[in-house]
A and B are shown apart, each in its own frame.
Chain A
């Protein structure tokens, strides 16, 4: 199932892996247009996939005012849009303008990539007849790897973890099976990383990954597959080459649909 989208649809976001761990909603003043009493907006920002924000009226907005301009090029969502159109907007010159629009998204875990813009006030607007119900809403600047991942990687949406019990009757006929889906899991190998890039860019992600779940798309333009998950062990690099290039490997476990 496709769960990486671009805006506009022909926008070339490249194939270097993208990780969205940054969320500007956590750094500014957040306001929402409405919320059901049992589904406050904080539930979409706590990193948990089992509590939700749901607006009580449509259209709905989820807005943040920052202390200064910040670059944004990626949105990550876990939840049901219920047919809503998602519009990422910025405020400038006394008006809201669209930075990206995503329509017809049916995936329940997805990432949207668009051209980077740097603004101080952002919002995500949902239009449609039925209110969405969202467990996770991230908006921020995706961290891109230096180069692409090639062979040896197990794409997360295809790497399922499942508990399964087969049922068979005494006569030997199959009576179906019982399944419990436990999500997806993959490992990511980073090789030949420039030591400056690792220390100035990648290590910020490493620090955030200690307690923050994130979105991961391994080859966003060609294989539109992403997951939302977290890393349970510390990520540690090694100096792989005499020129200082570094390498590391880490596991991600989470959901992909």
Chain B
């Protein structure tokens, strides 16, 4: 039996400072004044409002807290940036655990136990050391960096010894009793489990206080301080009114949580959604009621005593307004803030629960004292924000220019600083290269990429353009996401590159973007043209980018069947004839990026028509998918067309099924599964084992619903060269036939009549 609980966790901003203390110079001196509520709109002076911590840059500086003890199961969590290391140096120490670098190879060490670590990321990352039993694991963000088996004491200094590389740090925490595997939940656990927290918010000086009252970190020399980028948030947790909730402060006002999952659009063939599929949304329905403000208002106790009011007259916050009316008055800037939905069972630690992440979109208080909150996934956020790249340029011509002029001066004065020192431009219907000094533009080559130099009038906008020139697909995807304002924590560049290596390894893309264009539109077109799919997995909180590709030997396939895990009366099979593609037409070699998508604007048009599929013997016709590729070379466009026509030549079938939450654990959107059900049989009526790709995962209520689509390819790919003693095809086992590539006859057929492998 599983007993489910669900917690909605809201993260509005909250000021790091304390009213009237230290750098906050607010004073209760005027009649009617009151202490702030820790929020921007209630702050008396915006200069006092601070939500971003500080960064301590440590170069040749040792910073340690002495006499720290770590006991039992613990987690050390630090938000750091390591510089390049050389020689043999210790970099970070947590009691007797040391992370360092020797001869360019990173290691973790505890006593005589040591293990190599993978190289740390070149950007800011979460360094975690998790001890569970005798196993000590080091993580960089979500990835295991190394593991040692060790025991003994953990009693000593904690800190940094960057005698080699420089280190930047924003926070170090130590949790006792919790071996935390998922970094993203660390900030949101109750303070009671936090043993030490050096938050590096000081911004000045040599001492970093332990906010839990333990030993301070002290720098042996000067520390360079700068502004950090991690925000301080208030963690407000809401749940349904039920038994078995964890012992943490909760407001039991949740009436309903409705999650609409994201859905993959394989190959962009589903016209009912964009090339990057359907977005995930979360709809919360809550009940409004009076509230005491504890846990919300940092000065709740002083409101009652009167110490928070200039007139010293106290009041009971429970007697004024309701939870959500007060929230809205104090937090009008909730849009874009994080909402987490935690799903778990009674008895689960908060850190063990499934977490889904959304961004707050809207809040409405109805006449019936119910509150509706809608949140969306991060890709929807950048669409809603209508982020464009390149950004709109503000500079204009001060005077007319001719087709032969070599440069001009931008207006208004000073606008030149908003342009790069050199790059690409678009001016009317002309594109080219430029360099800049102050407000003065000097043309390089005028009239490139199918455009011609022409005359232009005073007041014409000089638009800086963006050019991706033979860049790897993943690099461009990541750049677009970054320009769209998607935080880097939402995508793992190393993991995406690893994933892309098999099929996108030599894929490079080029595109000239002359004028501001919606980032999501660019991203979606690239995804489709590169024969990929993308989805935001709100559970892993990662943007997935993967290829539409054949099953490879060694791919994980989840197995479900009627007599095992498929829940009763929840399985349905649907044919999707609208997704079948009888022919793919792909246009490449764009003549001018300033012109619209018509065949006349492209040099090459390639058609992939499956004659068998459109013959009267088979489907007798079908849809044409036409792609105007602004990203691909003609050769790569061929690969995309071939892959798309193979993948979608037959009518795709979709299957809907449900699993218990326990069975659904570890099954993610994008995964491959094999389903055997009486709803899909062979010609004799026997249930078939059919391979599908999961395109949607809906964690509604007590069960998890899945939507999956057929995973057939009409050609075989992905075989390995067999060893010398492997048998011939006709006597090989099923497993050998699936694994090895075999030479076909002159008709491309294997001895059993099936199609052989195709070399791409």
Chain B residues with CB under 8 Å of chain A are 1-4, 190-192, 239-245, 247-252, 292, 294-295, 301, 318, 346, 562-569, 571, 660-663, 677-678, 701-703
Contacts and interface: CB of A to CB of B under 8 A. Distances in A.
Contacts of A255: 243
A67 interface: no
Contact of A43 (B249, B562, B661): B249
Interface in A25-52: 36-40, 42-43, 46, 50-52
Interface in A146-205: 165, 167-173, 175-183
B242 A170 contact: no
Given A54-B192, A169-B568, A171-B563, 20 more contacts: A38-B191, A38-B192, A38-B295, A46-B318, A50-B239, A50-B252, A51-B249, A167-B703, A168-B567, A170-B562, A170-B678, A175-B565, A176-B2, A178-B1, A178-B661, A178-B702, A179-B4, A180-B4, A183-B242, A257-B243
Given A179-B3, A181-B242, A181-B243, A170 B571 contact: yes
A255 B241 CA distance: 11
B247 A133 contact: yes
A9 to B, nearest CB: 28
Contact of A38 (B190, B242, B245, B662): B190
Interface of A: 36-40, 42-43, 46, 50-52, 54, 79-80, 133, 165, 167-173, 175-183, 255, 257
A170 B301 contact: no
B294 A43 contact: yes
A177 B662 CA distance: 11
B295 A178 contact: no
Nearest to A184: B243
Greatest chain A CB density within 10 A among B294, B564, B569, B661 is at B294
A172 B564 CA distance: 10
Nearest to B304: A42
Contacts of B703: 165, 167, 178
Given A38-B190, A176-B2, A178-B1, A169 B301 contact: no
B1 A50 contact: no
Nearest to A178: B702
Nearest to A131: B192
Contacts of B3: 178-181
Contacts of B294: 40, 42-43, 51
Given A36-B192, A179-B1, A179-B2, A167 B249 contact: no
B292 to A, nearest CB: 6
A43 B568 CA distance: 45
A167 B2 CA distance: 11
A57 B670 CA distance: 49
B566 A170 contact: yes
Nearest to A167: B660
A170 B191 contact: no
A170 B242 CA distance: 31
17 contacts: A36-B192, A38-B192, A39-B192, A40-B294, A42-B292, A43-B294, A165-B703, A167-B702, A167-B703, A169-B563, A169-B564, A170-B566, A171-B564, A177-B2, A178-B2, A178-B660, A181-B3
B558 to A, nearest CB: 15
A169 B677 CA distance: 11
Given A79-B247, A182-B243, A170 B192 contact: no
A48 B3 CA distance: 22
B4 A42 contact: no
B565 A51 contact: no
A50 B192 contact: no
- In the A-B complex, the 6 residue pairs with the smallest Cβ-Cβ separation, listed nearest first, are A178-B702, A170-B562, A171-B563, A181-B243, A50-B250, A168-B568
B562 A52 contact: no
A175 B294 CA distance: 42
Given A168-B568, A178-B3, A180-B3, A42 B301 contact: yes
Contacts of A175: 565, 567, 660, 663
B562 A169 contact: yes
Contact of A51 (B2, B240, B250): B250
Greatest chain B CB density within 10 A among A171, A177, A180, A181 is at A180
Nearest to A175: B660
